[in-house]
Amino acid sequence: MECMHTRSDTAGLVELEERVRQDRQDLCQPAANWVPSRSCNGQKVVDIVVVGAGMCGLVAHHALIAGGMRNILHIDRSPEGREGPWVTFARMNTLRSPKNLTGPAFGHAALTFRAWFRAQYGEARWEALDKIDRPMWMEYLRWYRKVLDLPIQNGLELQRVTPEDGLLRVDLGGQAAPILARKLVLATAATARDSQLCQGLSSAFRDSTGPTPPMTLISQSCPANAWQ
């Protein structure tokens, strides 16, 4: 389904992006990193690994850097711009949620879908809008990532997580070298029950009934303070 709204120009969006930049500057965001660097056996430790770059992953990353945590590895197995269900396996024509929900704005009015839509289509079309077109929501999330300049590595997939020396060893598969991390954020939403992800985890991360959500799997084998 294609979006049914036609833009007259992009000047409004440019102005909104400048507003986002100015608001973040006034709020001293992104904040300077305050977490001391750490290494283990000569290997640099990543403070936080974020898995999944859909809506939840994007706002998690934004919140972390706003709080002064900058040593982050953010990955998603999908190609850039195709993260989450919106233009892949979701089939509904529109979002089920009301249009007025603020979504991943994290307290920034200029980052809401409403601000993004009105900047391009105007107030009258916003008032006339019932539900948000599914592909348009993905377009908004792509803009959200771009305007916040979130560094995300696409094409990397979580394969295994195991505890090691009080840290987490995160295996990404392929040619990527395993990394050590302090914390792990699983922002995989609907795909959190994906059997392929569960198959990549060690047997200690499973129960006798088959694959369970990764958050549960990891909690059974890793220290409680190592994952969120």
State the DSSP code for 16: H
**Which residue in 20, 2, 7 sits closest to 115, CA to CA?**
20
Q: What is the pLDDT of residue 221?
A: 54
Name the residue with higher pLDDT: 64 or 160. 64
Q: What is the pLDDT of residue 46?
A: 97
Is 181 inside any structural domain?
A: yes
pLDDT tens for each residue of 100-149: 999 999 999 999 999 999 999 999 999 999 999 999 999 999 999 999 99
**Which residue in 19, 103, 102 sits closest to 54, CA to CA?**
103
Q: Tell me the whole-structure pTM to 2 decimals.
A: 0.82
Least confident of 118-127, 133-142, 167-176, 201-210: 201-210
Is 121 inside any structural domain?
A: yes
Q: What is the pLDDT of residue 196?
A: 46
pLDDT tens for each residue of 43-73: 999 999 999 999 999 999 999 999 999 999 9
Amino acid at 169: R
Is 31 inside any structural domain?
A: yes
Q: What is the pLDDT of residue 2?
A: 45
Q: What is the pLDDT of residue 189?
A: 73
Q: Which domain holds residue 194?
A: 11-226
Instruction: Provide the token pair at 15.
Output: 């102005």
Amino acid at 44: K
Is 3 inside any structural domain?
A: no
Is 139 inside any structural domain?
A: yes
Is 221 inside any structural domain?
A: yes
- For helices 134-148 and 11-26, what crossing angle results, to 10°? 50
CATH number of the domain that 154 lies in? 3.50.50.60
Q: What is the pLDDT of residue 145?
A: 98
**Which residue in 212, 209, 205, 206 sits closest to 170, CA to CA?**
205
| Strands 72-76 and 153-154, bridge-based pairing | parallel
**Which residue carries 């394969």 as its tokens?**
159
H helices of 67-213, where? 113-121, 123-128, 134-148, 195-199
Average pLDDT over residues 153-179: 89
State the DSSP code for 216: H
**CA neighbours within 13 Å on the CB side: how many for 216?**
9
**Which residue in 60, 63, 71, 74 sits closest to 34, CA to CA?**
71
Average pLDDT over residues 11-29: 96
Q: What is the pLDDT of residue 42?
A: 93
Cα–Cα distance, 121 to 162 (Å, whole number): 48
Cα–Cα distance, 199 to 159 (Å, whole number): 8
Partner residues linked to 75 by β-bridges: 51, 153
Counting the structural domains of the chain, the total is 1
**Which residue in 29, 54, 11, 52 sits closest to 142, CA to CA?**
54
213 pLDDT above the threshold of 70: no
In this prediction, what percent of the chain has a pLDDT beyond 90? 72
**Which residue carries 């919106």 as its tokens?**
86
Is 2 inside any structural domain?
A: no
Is 53 inside any structural domain?
A: yes
